[in-house]
Structure 1
Amino acid sequence: MGFELQSFEEDVLQASHTKPVLVDFWAPWCGPCRVLGPIIEKLAKEQADRWTLIKINSDQRQDLSQQYGVKGIPAVKLFHKGEVIDEFTGSLPEMAIRQWLNKALPSEAKDQILQAEALIDAEDSKGAIRLLEEALRSEPTNSMACGLLASLIVFEDPDRATKLAETAGTGEPRFMQLSSAIKTLSTFLPLDLDDLPEEKGADAFKSAVLALEEGQYGTSIEHVIEVLKVNRFLLDDGARKLGVALFTVLGDTHPVTASYRRTFDMWLY
């Protein structure tokens, strides 16, 4: 895939009315440019549905460098509808660039995600799921949409939730912990309850998983705490893993977390 500039008017200004254009001002002698370049090119291929990359040799196009105030390179500028809407200078690690892109790129999906977050706060999960699915149809790799949807469908579709969480975790550090929690929950959902060892706490653990599958999170945590009281190390510390993962998915402000987290933590020590 070629990223070289042919016509600034066509490749950047006009093209940015159809899709955002990321312009990378660089030079062959610039060390940080050689570090940043491959990262930007990788992301451009991965996120081709969201934006286009154009690389400009600042030595050859000093006119453009001067026009757009390039004082140091690499200089990255994001164009939308013919105007620079965001920029950064210097080399950044891949994760930081992903975060910057997610924040800077304009899209209908962003509006849908904001609406979905409002519906989640209003406990309208079905409405939020519908909007997040729409957002992902236009931006399949959007970290925010992937992370939010994963947390909403983990109990109904743990396999898909795991894949979504993995995608989210590569783009947003805050979703890395969520990704790990969803993977943990998916090991218990569904769980072959007949294979549970006949030990103290086994019945309570079964009840915890069944309640979780039915969306009764408070009841599930109550049974998890029962297990912690009588057999902490059942299923290789399974009750602790299940409880921590559930609290992570629900979030700190969820009523179940607020009601049970302190008691749960007390029985860990």
Structure 2
Amino acid sequence: MNHEVTDFATDVIAQSHTLPVLVDFWAPWCGPCRILKPSLEKLAAAAEGRWALVTVNTDANPCLAAQHGVRDIPDVRLFHGGRQIAAFTGALPETRIRKWLEDSLPSAMRTKLDLAREQIIAGHFAEAEKRLSPLCATAPDDAAASLLALATVFCDPAAALSLVRDRTGDEAGLVRLFAHVLALAPDSLPDYSAKLSLLGGLAELRAGRFGEALRLLISSMEESVRYADGAAKRACLAIFKLLGARHPLSKELHRRFSMAANP
């Protein structure tokens, strides 16, 4: 499929629940757009229906372009499951577009990993472990192993660290951050007003209640940002990194965190 958009909600959002949709924002006067278009059409034809190509003339649809934050064209967005999952701008060579598609298009494994990541962010660690363990057993994969470690770290930091011993990447880095603060022994911490809220925040973190954890950890920072070598601050940073900047909790609490981090 390859056509100019008639209704974005139908042609892109609704259709992306059935198959991935590549959206090309372009304009007739744009030279790079004319260079890019044949490559996209060739790749779409070769895909044989595995994904659809839809184009948006930004001159004819300025409000639609503004709604999606299109500033420079050509601007290419990939939608799946009703949301944007990847994007690039400019007239890339066909070989680079092909590689980008290989890396960005959803696969059965990527879908399972995305679902497990969402379960972790929701604090459903046991469910995420149940989803990831068979993947790691039958098809060893760095991303799956690192996600399994991330699901495990909240109840067993030592086991999680063993899973990422030789691994790199964002999830492996998060495992190490969480493991370090979750391994703190209450008896090893000096008595101070920041201790109670720090321990409470770590308990909420182990339970997957990230909102409550952040509020208590920030309270500990407000007492003393340097207490326990800045453990509360490091735990907050790890939580924000896990949730992402667009998560409601990040939007709600990051300003308070920043004020506590820089008294």
TM-score by length of 2: 0.51
Q: Which runs of 5+ in 2 are unaligned?
A: 1-98
**For 2:114, which of 117, 122, 126 is the aligned residue?**
117
1:156 corresponding residue in structure 2: 155
Contact 2:116/2:132 (CA < 8 Å) preserved in 1? no
Relative to structure 1, the CA distance from residue 164 to residue 222 in structure 2 (aligned partners, 3 Å threshold; closer, same or farther) is same
Contact 2:116/2:131 (CA < 8 Å) preserved in 1? no
2:56 corresponding residue in structure 1: none
2:257 corresponding residue in structure 1: 264
**For 2:244, which of 248, 251, 259 is the aligned residue?**
251
- Which amino acid in 2 is paired with 1:258? K
Q: Residues 1-269 of structure 1 correspond to what in structure 2 (within 5 A)?
A: 111-118=108-115, 120-121=117-118, 126-140=126-140, 142-169=141-168, 175=169, 177-269=170-262
CA distance in 1, matches of 2:154, 2:138: 25
Contact 1:196/1:202 (CA < 8 Å) preserved in 2? yes
Shift of 1:190: 4.1
Larger Rg: 1
1:84-107 per-residue CA deviation (whole Å, 9 max, x = no partner) reads xxxxxxxxxxxxxxxx9xx68xxx
1:43-66 per-residue CA deviation (whole Å, 9 max, x = no partner) reads xxxxxxxxxxxxxxxxxxxxxxxx
- Which amino acid in 1 is paired with 2:255? R
Shift of 1:262: 2.7
After alignment, is 257-266 or 216-225 more displaced? 257-266
Shift of 1:155: 0.6
Relative to structure 1, the CA distance from residue 228 to residue 132 in structure 2 (aligned partners, 3 Å threshold; closer, same or farther) is same
Shift of 1:222: 0.7
CA distance in 2, matches of 1:125, 1:192: 22
CA distance in 2, matches of 1:205, 1:196: 10
CA distance in 2, matches of 1:253, 1:163: 31
CA distance in 2, matches of 1:249, 1:168: 17
- Which amino acid in 2 is paired with 1:158? P
CA distance in 2, matches of 1:134, 1:237: 37
CA distance in 2, matches of 1:125, 1:184: 17
Relative to structure 1, the CA distance from residue 207 to residue 125 in structure 2 (aligned partners, 3 Å threshold; closer, same or farther) is closer
- Which amino acid in 2 is paired with 1:241? R
CA distance in 1, matches of 2:135, 2:113: 10
- Which amino acid in 1 is paired with 2:218? I
CA distance in 2, matches of 1:127, 1:224: 26
Q: Which runs of 5+ in 1 are unaligned?
A: 1-99, 105-109, 170-174
Contact 2:181/2:234 (CA < 8 Å) preserved in 1? no
Which 4+ stretches in 1 moved above 6 angstroms? Answer: none
- Which amino acid in 1 is paired with 2:239? L
Contact 2:153/2:160 (CA < 8 Å) preserved in 1? yes
1:118-147 per-residue CA deviation (whole Å, 9 max, x = no partner) reads 35447575554333212211233x122122
Percent identity between matched residues is 21
Relative to structure 1, the CA distance from residue 259 to residue 146 in structure 2 (aligned partners, 3 Å threshold; closer, same or farther) is farther
CA distance in 2, matches of 1:196, 1:157: 20
1:170-199 per-residue CA deviation (whole Å, 9 max, x = no partner) reads xxxxx2x43233212212324321222112
Relative to structure 1, the CA distance from residue 119 to residue 205 in structure 2 (aligned partners, 3 Å threshold; closer, same or farther) is closer
- Which amino acid in 1 is paired with 2:197? A
Shift of 1:161: 2.2
TM-score by length of 1: 0.50
